[in-house]
Structure 1
Amino acid sequence: MPSKSNPPRGNKKAKATGSKSNAPQLIATRPGQIPQWITVPVELQQLLLNIFKDTFSANFNSRYSELVQEVKQHLYNRDFDNAFGNEGLRQAYAMRWSPSRALAYANIFYNLSTLTNRLLSASRAGAGNLDHGPIHELQDASGKTASVVTHSIEEKTSRIVCIGAGAGAEIVALGGYLNHLDRLALPMQSNIPPDGRRSEWPSQRHIGIIAIDIADWDSVACKLHSGIITAPPISQYASANAKAANAPLIGPDTFALEFVKQDVLNMAIEQMPAIFADATLVTLMFTLNELYSTSMSATTNLLLSLTMLLSPGALLLVVDSPGSYSTVSIGQTSDSGDESKRKKYPMQWLLDHTLLESAATGRSKNASGDRQWEKLESRDSQWFRLSNELRYPIDLEDMRYQIHLYRRL
Structure 2
Amino acid sequence: MGPSGKRAKDAQKVKSSGKSGKGSKTKPTKKDTRLAQKDSGSQRNTAASDSKDASLALESKVLPITLQQLLLNVFRFGLWSDREADATPLSELIQTLKAHLYRRDFISAFADANSDLLNAYTLRWSAGRALGYAGIFGGVFDMLLRQWSETPAEAGHRIHAFCIGGGAGAEIVALAAAWRLVRDGIWGNLTSPAPDHTSKIGDDNAGELEDALSVLSVTQPQRSGDTEQEKSNRTTRGDDRPAANYPLDLRITAVDIANWSSLVDKLSTSIASKSIPSSKSSPAPLVAEGDGDNRFHVSFKQADILSLADEELRSLLESSASRAAKPASEVNDKSSSKTPDETVLVTLMFTLNELFSASIPKTTAFLLRLTELLRPGTILLVVDSPGSYSTVSLGGNKPKAQTDETESASPQPSGDEPKNQRKYPMRFLLDYALLTTAAGEWECILSDESRWFRRDATKLSYEAGDGIGLEDMRFQIHVYRRLAS
Q: Shorter-chain TM-score category?
A: 0.7 to 0.9
Post-superposition shift, 1:118?
4.5
From 392, 395, 400, the equivalent of 2:462 is 392
Question: Structure 1 residue 50 and structure 2 residue 73: aligned?
Answer: yes
Contact 1:198-1:249 at 8 Å conserved across structures: no
Structure 1 residues 287 and 36: CA distance shift in structure 2, 3 A: closer
Residues 76-155 of structure 1 correspond to what in structure 2 (within 5 A)?
Answer: 76-84=102-110, 85-112=113-140, 113-118=142-147, 125-126=154-155
Q: Hey, what does 1:176 align to over in structure 2?
A: 177
User: What percentage of residue pairs aligned between the two structures are identical?
Assistant: 41
Equivalent of residue 263 in structure 1, options 262, 281, 304: 304
What is the CA distance between 1:327 and its match in structure 2? 1.0
Tell me whether 1:343 sits opposite 2:422 in the alignment.
Answer: yes
- Measure, in 2, the Cα distance between the counterparts of 1:111 and 1:7: 23
Residue 356 of structure 1 corresponds to 435
Q: How far 1:29 sits from its partner (Å)?
A: 6.3
C-alpha separation in 1, matches of 2:361 and 2:388: 21
Tell me how far apart the structure 2 counterparts of residues 208 and 280 of structure 1 sit (CA, whole Å): 9
Q: Retained in 1: the 8 A contact 2:51–2:445?
A: no
**Residue identity in the other structure for 1:308:** E
Query: Counterpart of 2:386?
Result: 322
Compute the RMSD of aligned alpha carbons.
Answer: 3.4
Q: Deviations over 1:247-275 (max 9, x none)?
A: 41212022101100000000012212112
When residues 281 and 38 of structure 1 are mapped into structure 2, their CA distance, relative to the original with a 3 A threshold, is: closer
Contact 1:372 1:408 in 2 (8 A): yes
TM-superposed CA distance for 1:99, in Å, is 0.6
1:30 to 52, 63, 70: 52
Code of the aligned partner of 1:58: D
- 1:294-318: CA deviations, max 9, x gaps? 1111111111111111111110000
Please state if 1:210 is matched with 2:243.
no
Give the counterpart of 1:276 among 317, 323, 328: 317
**Quick one: distance in 2 between partners of 1:354 and 1:187?**
38
Name the TM-score, length of structure 2 as normaliser. 0.64
SS at match of 1:375: strand
Which letter maps to 2:103? N
Task: Note if contact 2:445-2:479 (Cα within 8 Å) is conserved in structure 1.
Answer: yes
The amino acid that maps onto 1:100 is G
Higher relative contact order (CA 8 A, sep 6+): 2
**Distance change in 2, residues 1:261/1:315 (3 Å):** same
| Corresponding position of 1:141 | none
> Please, which runs of 5 or more residues in structure 1 have no aligned partner?
11-27, 127-154, 236-240, 361-370
Q: Trace 1:192-341 onto structure 2 (pairs within 5 A).
A: 200-201=237-238, 204-233=247-276, 247-253=284-290, 254-277=295-318, 280-332=344-396, 336=415, 338=417, 340-341=419-420
> What is the letter of the counterpart of residue 293 of structure 1?
S
1:204 Cα deviation from its structure 2 partner: 4.3
- Distance apart, 1:31 and its partner CA: 6.1
Alignment match, 1:147: none
1:197 to partner: Cα distance: 10
Aligned position for 1:377: 446
Q: For 1:39, what is the secondary structure of its paired residue?
A: coil
1:286–1:319 contact (8 Å) kept in structure 2? yes
Q: Secondary structure at the match of 1:58?
A: coil
> 1:182-231 deviations in whole A, cap 9, x for unaligned?
1348899xx9996x999854584210001000000011112112111221
Report SS of the residue matched to 1:206.
Answer: strand
Cα distance, 1:288–1:325 mapped onto 2, change above 3 Å: same
Residues 5 and 305, structure 2, Cα contact 8 Å, conserved in 1: no
- How many pairs align? 344
| Residue identity in the other structure for 1:81 | I
CA distance in 1, matches of 2:252, 2:431: 26
Return the letter of the residue paired with 1:63.
P
Higher strand share: 1
| Alignment check: 8 A CA contact 1:54 1:232 kept | no
Could you tell me which runs of 5 or more consecutive residues in structure 2 were left unpaired when the two chains were aligned: 14-49, 190-227, 240-245, 319-341, 398-412
Inter-partner Cα distance in structure 2 for 1:271 and 1:83:
26
How far apart, CA to CA, are the structure 2 residues paired with 1:119 and 1:390?
34
**d(CA) in 2 for partners of 1:93, 1:8:** 9
